[in-house]
Structure 1
Amino acid sequence: MTTARAGDVDYDAHVHGYAVQRRTDPRIAARVHAAIGEGRSLINVGAGAGSYEPDDRYVVAVEPFAVMRAQRPAHRVPALDAAAERRRFPAVDWIAGRIGTTSRVETVPVPNDCVDGFVEAYYARPEHFLDPRVRASQSAWGFVDDEVERRAVERLRADLDSGAGDARFGHLRGQPEFHGSLRLVVGLP
């Protein structure tokens, strides 16, 4: 009998160095903590290393992958070995509708010097994708095979070396923040 893995990327096999590359950005954390408001307890589904969990609240952390649970700092609550069985990137409206009777969705701007290492954090610094440690801490790379990743990195390196990348996307380097896919969905009582 085989057991299906939670999610669509095997974090145990593909995501390493997460806690080193994926650090809490204080500006994003401030938005998360402001959204929590006076709430005294929360559940963090897909908790990972617990980067944005508040220290002053009751947190139930849920994380199906051992490699991610092992990277949680000692001061964080241990994560439960469980899964929510949601597909990757469900529609924001779908999530909001299931959180509660009233919810709000906020776009979270990504600062150009974001210290968290998720993919959009490097919108103004694409050279970071040349570092295999950065890619190893991003689940998106788990969707491509090694050869596709190698070709993508070679192309990026060539575009950066030739200046073609900056000719096309260099304006992003001076853009103070990026409004991309990062959303905060807040359930209200």
Structure 2
Amino acid sequence: MGHLENEVRPAAYDRIGVGYRRIRRPDPRLHALIGAALRGARTVVDVGAGAGSYEPEDAEVTAVDPSGVMLDQHPGRRKVRASASRLPFADGAFDAAMAVLTVHHWPDLRQGLAELRRVARRQVVFTWDPAHRPQLWLMEDYLPEIRQLEDGRFTPLAAVVEALDAHTVLPFPVPYDFTDGYQAAYWRRPELYLDPVVRQASSTFATLPPEVVEPAIGRLRADLASGEWHRRYADLLDRESVDYGYRLVIAGERPQG
């Protein structure tokens, strides 16, 4: 899940990816949403596959990722080390192509999305819209550097939709007990951001320097100890889910059923 960039980046994920599967555990609700979008596809290429999260169980899946460490954690038999902008497959080789939280890492987004359209008749892309509000409180009050980084990495949703000529965009509000430890997963469980193992499984935290991250985490730790965080965000404590701008984009052939 989410691991394609330029020649430098695979080495970064060789470091970040150690133990990745322990923190980034696929959530069944997101799995169901993506599975419905892939319904009827017998052959699927997962571009930026990482450890293989959210791949359909009833299809023949080919995993593509530039990181050997990530592919070593992938349980499948069909694994190819390659980049999104140069997929080593024939035109129309797959019923569907999927890409989960990875397009923000691609050095040439339009070329990568064009490759998805070239090799598959259906495209299913899970991404995040940097223009969406509200954003996670962690960005707003503790680490605005995350917002700056993400604004530079993520392409606005409208550009992804346009490049794919997508026909469907589905929201995915993040549940409070979401099991996949990506950045917004712990919006109602702030104490988990204190865990360096949890932070290491996020490319954003792993990209920011310790001199930026550690003071912010120190402020969060103090606010949790004093009760200030719970006072400030009391409105979140009874919420079941929050829409933080995660979207599933579907293009090409429509799902069956």
Q: TM-score, normalised by structure 1?
A: 0.87
CA distance change for structure 1 residues 57 and 172 in 2, over 3 Å: closer, same or farther?
same
After TM superposition, list the pairs within 5 Å mapping 1:21-36 onto structure 2: 21-36=23-38
Q: Matched residues, percent identical?
A: 38
Instruction: In structure 2, give the amino acid aligned to 1:69.
Output: L
1:57 maps to which residue? 59
Bigger shift: residues 140-149 or 119-128: 140-149
CA distance change for structure 1 residues 151 and 102 in 2, over 3 Å: closer, same or farther?
closer
Per-residue CA deviations over 1:63-90 (Å, capped at 9, x if unaligned) read 11122112223xx244321112524422
Distance 1:146 1:78 in 2: 37
1:36 Cα deviation (Å)?
A: 1.2
After TM superposition, list the pairs within 5 Å mapping 1:20-169 onto structure 2: 20-73=22-75, 76-85=76-85, 86-87=106-107, 88-99=153-164, 101-169=165-233
1:4 maps to which residue? 7
Distance 2:181 2:189 in 1: 11
RMSD: 2.0
Structure 1 consecutive aligned stretches of length 4 or more whose deviation exceeds 6 Å = none
Distance 1:118 1:186 in 2: 21
- Structure 2: 5+ residue runs without aligned partners? 1-5, 86-105, 108-152
Q: Number of residues paired by the alignment? A: 183
1:140 Cα deviation (Å)?
A: 0.9
Distance 1:178 1:49 in 2: 26
Distance 1:17 1:171 in 2: 34
2:128 maps to which residue? none
CA distance change for structure 1 residues 16 and 135 in 2, over 3 Å: closer, same or farther?
farther
Distance 1:23 1:152 in 2: 26
1:44 aligns to what SS in structure 2?
A: strand
Distance 2:248 2:225 in 1: 36
Instruction: With a CA cutoff of 8 Å and minimum separation of 6, indicate the structure with the bigger relative contact order.
Output: 1
- Structure 1: 5+ residue runs without aligned partners? none
Contact 2:38 2:56 in 1 (8 A): no
